[in-house]
């Protein structure tokens, strides 16, 4: 089929480069979106995608089309008049002259309210026919036939919507399981012991943590909180998790870990600033032999150090959140502890429910309580205060005891 035939095909067609730039788009799709002839050539695909679809395109479409053909993927386009146009996309990758191209066929989806409007119009025709006695029988019969047809169409659409809802729910449950499985198990060693609490506001969370033993005396601790919550935040969180897990397990220093995470976020949204997400984060590299903590706090609520004997120390934010500003200098802060104590890290979903001053008081008062009991008390307080607040954010905290063999446990 030549380009002239494709231009007037009853469906949209476009060809993209591997980077997502448009090299061909047929007249059918250009007219649907309100653009003039060839005005979208060389533009990035993000120009005609809604913000949620831009994220979905980067995280699902691009990886999938590289390994197999994309079939009936749901995306939302955005017309030149900022109107949403839902479509089903079929796509396949091909190579020509050593270059990679992606051919896409786009079919417009009918919206449910169009069927409902037609039903209302059919009903109006039926009521009008009853009032006009001269043609009452003929008009009524026609209206009833139309109504029956539209009811059948609506029933089909309803079944499709129910199936889509069921499949979406299964996918969300699977994603929730994958995200929960990614959480690291508590560490229990001679010099360090950990416990954590993690509760998403919905099925998926923008919060993530991890603790890893690098060697006999070194441990990496990470907690991140991507802006917002729900599906988009959780997708970004999981992409950050896979990166920091690899970096920390390799024993990377704090400035290297933060720099790589920051660069990942900037690269992810390099084609559209409006879709950009940033994240607060704390990374700590704990050396129990040197009794030294190297850390960077990127816009996150301050971590709290509570020694058994001594005053609390807050490890406050030292730089802006990652993914927010390009060119940040990541300078590592070093904290030395001289006696056993407890570290407490948390996301703002916790401090939104329990005020910071109250948290600090609890940590100080319960400094000799076991990790398990401390965790139970904080969870109980969160659950008690939650019904009285309007906050609905992801909630996560980590408790770490250093030189635990010197502490008192039941």
Q: What phi, psi does 118 have (nearest 5°)?
A: -70, -35
Identify whether the C-beta of residue 304 lies closer than 8 Å to the C-beta of residue 351: no
How do the domains of the chain map onto residue ranges?
3-108, 112-175, 183-406
Give yes or no for a contact between 376 and 163, defined as CB atoms under 8 angstroms apart.
Answer: no
253, 328 Cβ separation under 8 angstroms: no
3-108 and 183-406, same CATH topology: no
What whole-number distance in Å separates Cα of residue 17 and Cα of residue 15? 7
What letters, b where the CB count within 10 A reaches 16 and e where it falls short, cover 287-311? Answer: bbeebebbbbbbbbbbbbbbbeeee
pLDDT in tens, the chain (410 residues): 567 778 888 899 999 999 999 999 999 999 999 998 889 999 999 999 999 999 999 999 999 999 989 999 999 999 999 999 999 999 999 999 999 999 999 999 865 446 546 667 877 887 788 778 778 778 888 888 888 888 888 878 877 777 766 665 565 555 555 666 678 899 999 899 999 998 887 766 678 899 999 999 999 999 999 886 667 777 888 888 888 899 999 989 999 999 999 999 888 887 776 667 889 999 999 999 999 999 999 999 999 999 988 899 999 998 999 988 888 999 999 999 988 999 999 998 888 888 888 888 999 998 889 999 999 999 998 888 776 554 567 889 999 999 744 444 33
**Host H or E run for residue 150:** helix 136-181
Return the CATH number of the domain spanning residue range 183-406.
3.60.40.10
How many angstroms separate the Cα of 246 from the Cα of each of 105, 178, 212, 241?
A: 37, 17, 10, 9
Give the pTM.
0.57
Can you identify the CATH homologous superfamily of domain 3-108? PAS domain (3.30.450.20)
């Amino acid at each position: 089929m030549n380009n002239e035939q494709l231009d007037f095909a009853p469906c949209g067609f476009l060809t993209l480069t591997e980077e997502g730039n448009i090299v061909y788009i047929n007249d059918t799709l250009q007219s649907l979106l309100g653009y003039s002839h060839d005005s979208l050539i060389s533009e990035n695909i993000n120009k005609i995608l809604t913000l949620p679809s831009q994220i979905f395109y980067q995280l699902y479409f691009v990886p999938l089309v590289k390994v197999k053909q994309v079939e009936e993927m749901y995306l939302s386009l955005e017309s030149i008049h900022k109107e949403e146009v839902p479509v089903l996309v079929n796509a396949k990758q091909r190579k020509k002259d050593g270059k990679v191209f992606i051919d896409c066929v786009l079919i417009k989806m009918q919206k449910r309210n169009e069927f409902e409007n037609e039903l209302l119009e059919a009903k109006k025709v039926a009521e009008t026919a009853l009032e006009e006695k001269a043609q009452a029988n003929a008009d009524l019969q026609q209206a009833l036939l139309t109504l029956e047809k539209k009811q059948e169409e609506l029933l089909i659409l309803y079944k499709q919507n129910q199936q889509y809802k069921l499949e979406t729910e299964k996918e969300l449950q699977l994603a929730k399981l994958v995200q929960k499985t990614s959480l690291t198990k508590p560490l229990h060693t001679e010099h360090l012991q950990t416990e954590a609490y993690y509760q998403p506001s919905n099925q998926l969370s923008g919060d993530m943590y991890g603790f890893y033993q690098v060697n006999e005396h070194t441990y990496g601790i990470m907690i991140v909180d991507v802006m917002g919550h729900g599906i988009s935040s959780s997708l970004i969180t999981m992409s950050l998790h896979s990166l920091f897990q690899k970096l920390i397990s390799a024993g990377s220093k704090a400035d290297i870990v933060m720099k790589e995470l920051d660069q990942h976020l900037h690269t992810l949204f390099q084609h559209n600033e409006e879709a950009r997400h940033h994240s607060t984060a704390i990374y700590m590299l704990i050396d129990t032999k040197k009794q030294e903590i190297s850390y960077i706090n990127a816009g996150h609520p301050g971590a709290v150090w509570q020694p058994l004997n001594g005053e609390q120390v807050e490890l406050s934010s030292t730089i802006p959140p990652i993914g927010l500003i390009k060119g940040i200098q990541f300078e590592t802060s070093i904290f030395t502890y001289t006696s056993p104590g407890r570290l407490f890290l948390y996301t703002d979903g916790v401090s939104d429910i329990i005020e910071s001053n109250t948290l600090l008081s609890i940590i100080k008062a319960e400094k000799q309580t076991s990790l398990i009991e401390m965790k139970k008390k904080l969870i109980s307080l969160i659950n008690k205060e939650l019904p009285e607040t309007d906050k609905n954010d992801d909630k996560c905290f980590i408790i770490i005891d250093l030189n635990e063999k010197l502490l008192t446990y039941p």
